[in-house]
Chain A
Amino acid sequence: MDDAPVIYGLEDFQARALAAHAAETEKINFLVGTQSLRRVNQVQLIEFDDDTSLVTKQTFEHPAGEVWRIVAAPQSPDLIATVYNNTQDYCGEFGAAIWRLPLEGSSSGVLDDTRTGGEQVEKLCSLDGTCRGDPQIPGSPVHGLGSQAWSVVWAPEYDSRLLGSQVAATHGSNVRAWDVRTMKPSWCVEGAHTQLVSDQRVILSNLPSIASQPFGTMVDQEESSKEEREKSEGTEEGVIQIYDDHEDSVYAVEWSAADFWTFASLSYDGRLVINKVPRSVKYKQFINHEF
């Protein structure tokens, strides 16, 4: 028998931002950013104990607005970057920033669930596209999106000195990079995407009621946590398993940074499901790697 999925609700928040806690290699941690227009949004650090199948969480307020995307820095467990929508004035502006999580000295141990509003994320740097006074891209197809952040990634550099030293963000059709050590913009590629960097959403919106058939298959550990796809190009192609624990559209799936065989999926209704690769598939992988 495979382990039953662990289902965890985000307390009535809607959410579409999910990330593995990349710098934490001991524990199976995930970061979730919530989306709410009317309440103070949160970043939740969710820890899954493999042995007891218990889920514990730490909650941090994210007052800047609803989180559309979240990434964890690979070099430091308390650094994250988010793309957020400013809900204060309903202007619909998207921004991006690097934050520090006020983690406790020992992040282990069951936390008090009632401390929801206790800590706030601390803003380190705003990854603002317009602050340098860049002109908007002429002919930008969507008004108002030219300078808005859509996406943010940490540079996946494995050189230990440079690890996580750069952050890139997409603003409209530009890609900008920041040096994290100095928190200054380092380079910018303008017009990298002549079309909106929004192809992904087409796929999402066209995906079958994602609630009913989440992305089922993940195989190779090489590509784990870095690129999860619905169908991996692993040893054998095809759907391995279909997980139907969600009832709304699933917008994010992430491999755990600590355990290759564990992954989390997050649906719009705030349901986080932690699953494991079926054991039969896992053992098959081991056998294949031996030869």
Chain B
Amino acid sequence: MARRWWTLPLFLVSALAPSFSLAGPAFENTAIVRTIELGGSLVHVSTTYAVKALEPGQTTYQIALSKVERAKTSWLEAKVKGQTTPLKLSEDESSAEYLLSISLPKALAVNGTLNLVLETMQTHATHPFPEQAAQNEPQLLKYETDLFTISPYTTLVQRTKIKSIAPNVISYTTPHDVDSFVRDGSVTRSGGTITYGPYHDIQTDTDFVAKHQQSVSVHYSFDYPVIEVETLRRTAEISHWGSNLNIEDKAHLHNAGPTLKGHFSRLEYQSQNFQRKQAPHILSDFTLHLPPGVTNAYFYDQNGNVSTSHLRTAPSVAKGSKAVQYSVLQLRPRYPVLGGWNYSYTIGFDTPLQDSVSYDAKDGVYMVGVPVMTPIPGTVVNDAEVKIILPEGATNVKFVSPFPEISNSMSTHISYLDTAGRPAVTFTYKDLTYKHTGTIYVSYQVPLSAHLKKAVSVSAAFFSLFAFAFMARRVNLNLHKK
């Protein structure tokens, strides 16, 4: 098996050594390509590691992320390039960085190669610069990142590509002191893509990071409003009598682009609309894709109903089958949301219960699937709370979230015709993006007696009226004796 006598002792030593600088010669990165797609509130980073195993029987590959980068990352997924199933990963925090240990699909032999892709979604990674913009000025954002992609293993060549959607990049930093790694230029630009690299023979240990790691920033123009949903409260109420699932979202939108300089000019806004050249940092409308089979949709804010909306419903599809067509809801807030402004609203809709709830007759167990959120395209949700209200008398409640939640809790919610109240499950999340669209599954049991409790309580109220009438008929209120 081993050709050199020192291979096995070295393997044992490297397995014991601290992982930062001596994760050792278990792997070698033949190439690392990090592609950063710049957005407004969301930045999509995709890093491809071309990995070569130097030791036999390797089943775990480690990826390093700096503390700053991990703090910005709200979603990550590792896959083999070209495949769709995500690989299992576990996280460890050391004093200098975060290490993700990825379980390879099968063990790599010596000199075996594999292409791994780590996809991450960063939130709150850009900031407007200049921080203020007048109504007719463009929207410019700045993004900062580390120049070198760190890794516990030696990298033969690495490059970082930063892509902006709009081709006009205002400026980008030129790296300094990188001549020892560079063969051609250290940075090149082609339209909206800036390429840092290729950099050769990098070993990102502590000395290297202290001496050569530097921050590079890109100042670019972004043509869509930068929207953050500061809080999102979703309530899903299940009704067995009405065979209905009502979902209501209360959202607080914030335009996180450059704050408005000067005052808002309605004349300027109308003339921009007329010429179809609206300033990029103004949010005037957005579109939501609701489930098919939506009825009774409503959209209101603190002032009352907002009529500037348009709903195109799609026909209902059976539970579990993939929706071919979504219901499209175009919303126009009561006023255009300029930089630094906020807008709060409530939307809600009903869907038939048979599209979301299944019933296992053998155990009498119901299971409901509630989507975590309806994403607004290109936005991040800072703080989300999903509350699922089960029918009165639900017992044996079990639930599972599609991705780890910050916290979950059970409470009692009191609504119409309730006597004891309904059990409710609440999940809290933070920094949700369009990658976090999953379904929460809750299973529960409701006996027939709990269903009938509603009708029986109303009957009791009616009967008390009749009992009062019974006694009232027998009371003589005549003033004079007959």
**A and B are partners in one complex rather than unrelated chains:** no
Interface of B toward A, CB cutoff 8 Å: none
Interface of A toward B, CB cutoff 8 Å: none
